[in-house]
Amino acid sequence: MPLIPKTDGGSIHWTLLREKIIEILIYISGFSAIIFVFSIFAFIFKEASGFVFSHETDWSFFFFNAAWQPLPEESATYGAFSMIIGTISVTLVAMLIAVPFGLGLAVLVSEFCSPKIKETLKIVIELLAAIPSVVWGFVGLKLMNYVLVNFFGAQVGSNLFNGGIVLALMSLPIIVSIAEDAFKAVPDSYREAAEALGATKWQVVYKVLFPAAKNGLLAAVLLGVGRAVGETMAVLMCTGHNLNNPFSSEFPFLNIFDPIRTLTASIAAELGEAPRGSEHWQALFALGLLLFAIIFVINLTADLVVRGIKQEES
């Protein structure tokens, strides 16, 4: 009997046609992801183009001046410096909190605790990820802010530290789950070999697991950074939304109780008020482009670093 693909009643042509259709569908769904990303970029770029290509736009002013005053329209200035600094500072604070806690928690979950505690912890961490950002914003604004103002002497109103804690809690689940996967991917034979040499648990973690899982851990941290940079609602509610530079040349170099304003929050807060197509509207889309570029650079860095590590290994 000749080997013809089995057809369910229909002719061989139908089978081949069906194969072809399925193949095309898979291609379409694959390429659509790329198409969507490009069309979003094109849309933002189109809306911002008036601002980007205008001769009046002074780029050094845009990047290095803190005066973002869209009103009154006749004398409007668009300096994004404060927002860039705001986004950087709140991400920095969030990561300073979330990275040590996240990696520590991942080590605890994957290496140290009993299966029962492990399951409980994982459920709790996943629950953390399920909380909507507006709820985080509410908790940050009403609860944490109360604590910070009344017990830590912060000025009334939400501030950088307040937003940083909220962002840290929001990016914690991503960091923990990716880092835990990275630890899980380390073969058990490494652990046994190290323990057979007389290593204590901590020595195994520090000297064997961290080097073995470094790619995954780096990915975990960078995804956490991406989450923190892109978050909008919680930072809008919890950072004070005030143009300000929290860095200073004097100790402690970063005033964590200063209010700040981020790129994302500015767009969310002002886009509704800006008349469509106006200069203000276009400037906001320029901020969007900037945000796009920042995320792109972070992802590219992650990619290059991971590749660099891989090359070093081979």
Partner 1 sequence: MQKTIEIENLSVNYGKHNAIDDISLFACKGEILGVIGPANSGKTTFLKCINRTIDFTSTSKVNGTVKVGGENVREMTSVHDLRRRIGMVFPLPVGLPLTIYDNVAYAPRMAGVRDKDELDELVETCLKQSALWDEVKDRLDSLGTKLSGGQQQRLTIARALSHRPEILCLDEFSIAVDPVTTMRIEDVLVELKKEITIVLVTNLVQQARRLSDRVAFMNQSKLVEFDEVDTIFGENPKEKLTFDYVRGYFG
Instruction: Check residue 197 for interaction with partner 1 (CB under 8 A).
Output: yes
Residue from 190, 233, 299, 306 touching partner 1 (CB under 8 A): that is: 190
203 binds partner 1 (CB under 8 A): yes
Three-state SS at 299: helix
Q: Nearest distance from residue 191's CB to partner 1, in Å?
A: 8
Residue 197 DSSP label: T
Residue type, 62: F
Q: What angle do CA 60, 63, 65 make, to 5 degrees?
A: 85
41 sits near partner 1 (criterion: CB under 8 A): no
**Residue 189 lies near partner 1 (rule: CB under 8 A):** yes
Cβ atoms 211, 163 nearer than 8 A: no
Taking a C-beta distance cutoff of 8 angstroms, is the pair 190, 213 a contact? no
Helix axes 12-52, 279-313, angle to 10 degrees: 120
3 makes contact with partner 1 (CB under 8 A)? no
Q: Does 207 bind partner 1 (CB under 8 A)?
A: yes
Nearer to partner 1, 112 or 296 (CB): 112
> Which CB atom, from 103 or from 267, has the smaller least distance to partner 1?
103
Check residue 193 for interaction with partner 1 (CB under 8 A): yes
- Distance spanning both ends of the chain, measured CA to CA: 50
Figure out which of the listed residues 8, 74, 250, 313 binds partner 1, where binding follows CB under 8 A. Answer: 313
Q: Which CB sits closer to partner 1, 126 or 192?
A: 192
DSSP annotation string for 227-272: HHHH--HHHHHHSB------B-SSTTSB-TTS-B--HHHHHHHHTT
The residue range among 38-46, 73-81, 171-179, 208-216 that interacts with partner 1, by the rule CB under 8 A, is 208-216
What's the min distance (Å) between Cβ of 217 and partner 1?
13
- Residue 179 binds to partner 1 (criterion: CB under 8 A): no
User: Whose CA is closest to 126, among 109, 104, 143, 107?
Assistant: 109
Taking residues 265 to 294 in sequence order and writing x for each that binds partner 1 by CB under 8 A, - otherwise, the string is ------------------------------
Q: Verify binding: residue 73, partner 1, rule CB under 8 A.
A: no
**Could you say whether residue 195 binds partner 1 (CB under 8 A)?**
yes
Give the interface size with partner 1 as a residue count (CB under 8 A): 18
Total Cβ atoms within 10 A of residue 68:
20
User: Can you say whether residue 157 is alpha, beta or left, with left for phi > 0 and alpha for psi between -120 and 50 degrees?
Assistant: left
Rg for the chain (alpha carbons), in Å? 25
Is there binding between residue 194 and partner 1 (CB under 8 A)?
yes
Instruction: Give the footprint of partner 1 on this chain (CB under 8 A).
Output: 189-190, 192-200, 203, 207-208, 211-212, 313-314
